[in-house]
Structures are given as C-alpha cells and as structure tokens.
Amino acid sequence: MVAPRVYQALHQPIVGHLDPYFFEVAEDIRRLLGYAFSTANEFNIAISGTGTSGMETAVANFVEPGEKFAVLANGYFCDRLADVARRHGTVVARLEKPWGEVFDDQEARDFIRREKPRVVAYVQAETSTGAFQPGHAICEAAHEVDALAIADCVTSLGGMPVLVDETGIDIAYSCTQKGLGCPPGLAPLTVSPRAWERLRKRTAPVDSFYMDLRLLESYFRDRKYHHTASATMFYALREALAIVREEGIENRWERHRRNHEAFVAGVEALGLRMHVAAADRLWTLNTPCVPDGVNDAQVRQRLLSEYGIEIAGGFGPLAGKVFRIGLMGYSSTEENVAKILDALRKILSGAIK
Amino acid sequence: MVAPRVYQALHQPIVGHLDPYFFEVAEDIRRLLGYAFSTANEFNIAISGTGTSGMETAVANFVEPGEKFAVLANGYFCDRLADVARRHGTVVARLEKPWGEVFDDQEARDFIRREKPRVVAYVQAETSTGAFQPGHAICEAAHEVDALAIADCVTSLGGMPVLVDETGIDIAYSCTQKGLGCPPGLAPLTVSPRAWERLRKRTAPVDSFYMDLRLLESYFRDRKYHHTASATMFYALREALAIVREEGIENRWERHRRNHEAFVAGVEALGLRMHVAAADRLWTLNTPCVPDGVNDAQVRQRLLSEYGIEIAGGFGPLAGKVFRIGLMGYSSTEENVAKILDALRKILSGAIK
C-alpha cells in the first residue's frame, strides 16, 4: 500500500529533468536516502528503473569481464545476482545454503578468504525466503581481500535496520514500493567512498550506458544531461522519504518489529510454524509454512476474493511450502496484522490439527 | 505538458506487478502502442525506464560482441546509439552528416551495402537538430544485407508519422513524455517478427538482465515474474495512448503539422531562419537559428522568468546557434504557438535587423 501523502505527491506539476527545481528534489532525496540507509555516503541516488535495475547497476559498474564475483547464495535474489554477474562477464563463485537459512560469520569468512573475489554480493533481506542475512563479517572479510561488498536491501530499506556504514556495505540498493510505501519505479542506491575510488580507476567502459554511475554522477552533481528522469517518481520518493524522516527511522523499525512479532505470535497460535529460525526473520516479510494437506493457492485465492488481502506464495524450492506475507511500509499496522490473522483463522479452521 | 486526464490516471490505486488487472492495463498498452506506431507487430511493450533505456534495450538484444553495427550519424542521439553499441561489444561503422541535414536514399544504401552490418540504426526524429530522417531506403537496404533496422522514434511517436510497418523498421523505441503527453518513466518499444526470429536464435545471453527482451516477453505474455513494473506509470501511459486513439492518430499528426507550420511562418516573419531545410523538419521540435549578436541563454532565461515558457538551447556543434522549441503532444496548440511567437517578438525586437 502506498501512503496517501505519496499519492498526493504524484500530482505535482511535472518539471523538466534539467529544471533547477528537479535538482532540488533530487538533492532532498540524496540527503534523505543517507538517513534511511544509515550512511554518511555522499552518493545516494535513485536509479530510473525498478529494484532490479538497482541490482544490475550495482553489479555492472563494479565488475569487469573475467573478474571473480562471489555470491552467498540462499534464495532467489542471490541467484539473480549471480545471473546478472555472469551476463556482465564475471566468473561467479557461489557458497550455497538452503533457502531460508543464513550464513554464519565463520563460513562466510572462510569462503571469501578462499575465493579472493573482486566483489562479494549478498542479500540482506531475501524476499523469496523471509530471511535476514547479517553482513558485518561478510563485509569485513571482503575488505580484507580488497573486494567490494554489495548488499541487496530491497526488502529491508525503511522497514528494518540496513545500517550501511556500521555493516561496512560498499554498494546497497533497494526499491521504492516495499518499506518506503511508494509506487514502484525507482531504485535507491548508495555507494561508499571506497567503491567510488575503485570506479574512478576503472578504464574499461561500463557495459551499460543507462546504468553508468559516472554518467549518473555527472547528471545529478553537474546537471549534465544523461537521461530524462521522471519528476513524478522523484516527487513520490521524496514524499515517502520525508514520511520516514518524520516518523523517525528507529521508530519505524520498531513499528515493523512489533507488528512482525504480533503476526508471528498470532500465526503460531493458529498452529502454523514459521519457516525461518526466530533470530533470522525479516520484520517486513513473514513466511509461515503451509500446513500439511492445505493447498496454498486456494488459501491465497480465498484471501484475495473474500477478504481483499493479497499475499504471495513460495516459489523455487519453497513452492507450495510457505506463504509470503508482507507487513511493510504503510501496510505494517496492527489492523493489518489482526485482519490477516482473522482471515487465515477462518480459512484454515479445520485444516490444521 | 502532461494532459490533465493523464495526471488523474496517476492517482489510480496501485496494484501488484502480477495482478490480473495490471496485465489488463499492459494488454491495453500493447494494443494501443500498435496503433500509435502504425504496426501490426504483436510485441509492443513499455520498458520500465526512460527513453534511453529503450535505446539500450534495442541495441543490447540484437547485437552480439564483435558484430558490426552501422549508424547513420547526424546528431547527438546517433552518437549515443554508437556509444551504446560500442559498450555492448560491437564494431561501429558510421556514416557522417552535419547536424541538421538528413541522408538521401542513395548514400544510405551505398553505406549499408558496403558495410554489410548486422544492425543498422538511425534516428527518425533527432531531438538535437530538429531533423526528420526518412527510413524506407535505409530499412530496405538493411534487409537486403540481412541486417535489422533500429529507429529512434523518441521525438516522433504521437506527433508525426512513425509508420513502423510501412517504413520497414524492425525495432522502434520512444519515450512517454514527448508526443504522448505523459510523464517520463517508460520507454515504448515495438519489435517486428523478423527481429524476433533473430532473437529466438540467439545463443549468447543478452548482457543485461533488466533489458532482456525474452525475459520481458515471458513476463508480459506468460505472467512470469521478471521485475516490479510500476502500475502508476502504466496507468498514465494507457491514458495517454487512449487520448491518442480518441483524437485519431492522423488528426494528431495534422494538429502537430499545422502548429509547426504556423510557428515557422511566424518565426520567419520575425526575421529568424530555420536551421533545417523545409522538407526535413520535425513537426514536434523546431530549431530556428539564433540571430547574429543575440545571446541565446539570455533569451531562454527571459522566456522562462518573464513568460513562463521553457525552451531548450542547442548543444554540441549547434551550441549557441539554435533554439530548440518543442510543440508536442498536449503542448502542440495554437495558443502555445501564439504565446511563444509573441514572447520571442518582444524579447528579440531591436536585436534583429
């Protein structure tokens, strides 16, 4: 769900992509993204595409063909990172883990020290599993071997602590339509000074013009035309970030944590088991297991048609095994927790022993 | 300027990128884009990025590293096409022409027959110069040597005849914020059956995940998740295309032609000369020359501050030499022609002998 104030912002009259007012909006976004990402990075922008364009921008700029790209692979978006990295000519090294589990510090360190890649990528908030991957040891080990650390924060930004600087993340990207409560259409991205240093030394052209960060820097900083950014989407993102600032990022995390825990307590009381271990759960996306003998598609269909609630199913190795229930951004409310629990209770009653 | 009905459409409640209603909207867009592009192609989509992402999608999918990419180069966006093609590993062959002139049939044919490229690209409507490049001979020669023809239609779609099928264009792309009168944020794109045949035989992965047309096909046709398309932007584009359909594409072209000619007559009466020869002019974007002794930046500044009219200046070889005055989409009106002519008359009076 999108916050009503953000819907209002979509209405503001369009200005050109080189209008001084547009750059004021972009500057507000730059500053507010630093707050939401918990970073002192100066380079915080919104890529003119959806979350996946943020992922591809992060990868394409920081690898060159033939370099080693290490992925900690425990879900769908880790696989996507590996796919993107291969398309950009890298040699991919993977460390595998079942979907829903997370890597402990030592195994992450051992993997990175052994592989000595140029870039290490991991998914902080894995939308396909509901698991949160801590990144401190990953980033530390990456820096030890002179690699950069990329973190996918698509389902954490605005909903739980991303903590870019404290974690040591060099490139973090996200989307607008989850924890920020904005329509989809832009991909927030932040880049550390360490990563910029690497980029400045790069001699091979980035193999995408649209996603070339040095061109994007000269657009947003020097106001040199690169592409026609959408004022509409920038208005919406600025408003969504202003709401985050007003609520206070810690209060926002706390709201997400509280509603997540209320949901878990309620769903466990209904007899369902959570797929992810208690310590590793996202607060934004919950993955209770589908009880034995229950058809998950039927449950989702009834939720949508009888209760007006849209939830997602599992896919890949988790197809038919988990529900994926978002409580994020504007939608993370006590009312929504009560609604989904009540609907699940009615639909599942009798189906669970 | 954006049509008021399009602003209204931005307000529609967001649905998910896999919601059946979202695919209804995408299907309307597919059908209406066929109408606006004058094509029977079945594959008409909106790329989730701005116009330049349409350009990069067109290039990245239809070339493989080492292949020859021919560009008819007579303006800034031709140079950008060449830059994008080089980044995707092609060998670029260029035929040069001064900015503002167009290629005649014979020289285009000779170039293409000599170079025998895999892809030929040209800019139908060159935003940097105001020139319209006819494409029939280009596309015919391209097909003779088994090349595909890409046309940049960013400044023609919705404002003048793009005529994809009649011209023989294989891949055409555009933007939403010019002739269609929509906010920027999407890149309409159409692909011919001939180009799809080439794409189906492709074995090397496209070097972009975000812009991979086979993945986008399986998203829009088979509803298989690829990225989170922005319902908001799709609502706006559908409304803008519905307006085109209601007005009638030929009526819309005629409106643009009439207002363009009124502008030219008026600006010539003020003593200004048009940069582009009469037969080669865009109806959407006018490029009168800056009179001797006149500072174009000052004129633009006064237009903006005293009259609330934003026009653009020339750049590259045309910096300081032309004004670029858009009359496109919702903004192509008799009133706007009268307004800009009146303002120019007042600002320039005395400056022109």
pLDDT of chain B, 353 residues: tens digit per residue: 999 999 999 999 999 898 899 999 999 999 999 999 999 999 999 999 999 999 999 999 999 999 999 999 999 999 999 999 999 999 999 999 999 999 999 999 999 999 999 999 999 999 999 999 999 999 999 999 999 999 999 999 999 999 999 999 999 999 999 999 999 999 999 999 999 999 999 999 999 999 999 999 999 999 999 999 999 999 999 999 999 999 999 999 999 999 999 999 999 999 999 999 999 999 999 999 999 999 999 999 999 999 999 999 999 999 999 999 999 999 999 999 999 999 999 999 866 54
Residue in B with minimal Cα distance to A207? B87
* Cβ–Cβ gap B207/A88 under 8 Å: yes
Residue that the structure tokens 């590259």 belong to: B316
Residue in B with minimal Cα distance to A210? B53
Architecture of domain B249-348 in this structure:
Alpha-Beta Complex (3.90)
Phi, psi of A49 (to 5 degrees): -170, 180
Residues in chain A: 353
Give SS3 for B1: coil
Residues of B in contact with A1 (CB under 8 A): 14
* Domain boundaries of chain A, sorted by first residue: 4-246, 249-348
**pLDDT tens track for B71-89:** 999 999 999 999 999 999 9
When pLDDT is averaged across residues A187-202 and rounded to a whole number, the result is 97
* Cβ–Cβ gap A49/B86 under 8 Å: no
Residue in A with minimal Cα distance to B204? A87
Q: A-B interface: how many C-beta pairs under 8 angstroms?
A: 136
* Cβ–Cβ gap A230/B233 under 8 Å: yes
Residue in A with minimal Cα distance to B301? A19
CATH 3.40.640.10 fits B4-246, yes or no: yes
H helical segments located in chain B: 4-9, 20-37, 51-62, 76-87, 105-115, 136-144, 164-167, 193-201, 213-220, 231-247, 249-269, 296-307, 334-348
**A136 min Cα distance to partner chain B (Å):** 28
For testing the chain B interface, which of A203, A209, A224, A309 should be mutated: the one with the most B CBs within 10 Å?
A209
| Cα separation, B69 vs B56, whole angstroms | 13
Nearest to B184 among A80, A210, A228 (CB): A228
* Cβ–Cβ gap B183/A14 under 8 Å: yes
**B233 min Cα distance to partner chain A (Å):** 8
Residues of A in contact with B51 (CB under 8 A): 227-228
- Cβ atoms of residues B149 and B139 within 8 Å: yes
* Cβ–Cβ gap A11/B11 under 8 Å: yes
Residues of A in contact with B89 (CB under 8 A): 207
For testing the chain A interface, which of B210, B223, B309 should be mutated: the one with the most A CBs within 10 Å?
B210
Residues of B in contact with A11 (CB under 8 A): 7, 10-11
pTM of the predicted model as reported, rounded to 2 decimal places: 0.96
When pLDDT is averaged across residues A204-215 and rounded to a whole number, the result is 97
Residues of B in contact with A173 (CB under 8 A): none
**B177 min Cα distance to partner chain A (Å):** 9
When pLDDT is averaged across residues A228-235 and rounded to a whole number, the result is 96
Residue in A with minimal Cα distance to B315? A225
Contacts of B78 (CB under 8 A, 6+ apart): B71, B72, B121, B122, B123, B126
* Cβ–Cβ gap A14/B49 under 8 Å: no
* Cβ–Cβ gap A53/B56 under 8 Å: no
- Cβ atoms of residues A184 and A51 within 8 Å: yes
**A286 min Cα distance to partner chain B (Å):** 18
Nearest to B208 among A7, A11, A56 (CB): A56
Each residue of B181-213: b (16+ CB within 10 Å) or e? bbbbbbbbbbbbebbbebbeeeeeebbbbbbbb
**pLDDT tens track for A273-322:** 999 999 999 999 999 999 999 999 999 999 999 999 999 999 999 999 99
**pLDDT tens track for A20-72:** 999 999 999 999 999 999 999 999 999 999 999 999 999 999 999 999 999 99
* Cβ–Cβ gap A89/B310 under 8 Å: no
CA atoms within 13 A on the CB side of A168: 18
* Cβ–Cβ gap A230/B183 under 8 Å: yes
Residue in B with minimal Cα distance to A49? B49
For testing the chain A interface, which of B127, B186, B230 should be mutated: the one with the most A CBs within 10 Å?
B230
**A88 min Cα distance to partner chain B (Å):** 6
When pLDDT is averaged across residues A240-256 and rounded to a whole number, the result is 98
Residue that the structure tokens 């088994």 belong to: B146
pLDDT level of residue A353 (50, 70, 90 thresholds): very low
Predicted pLDDT of residue B353: 47
Predicted pLDDT of residue A352: 56
Nearest to B210 among A52, A86, A177 (CB): A52
Q: To 5 degrees, how large is the angle CA A313–CA A318–CA A321?
A: 70
Nearest to A228 among B56, B175, B208 (CB): B175
Residue in B with minimal Cα distance to A175? B228
ipTM value of the model?
0.95
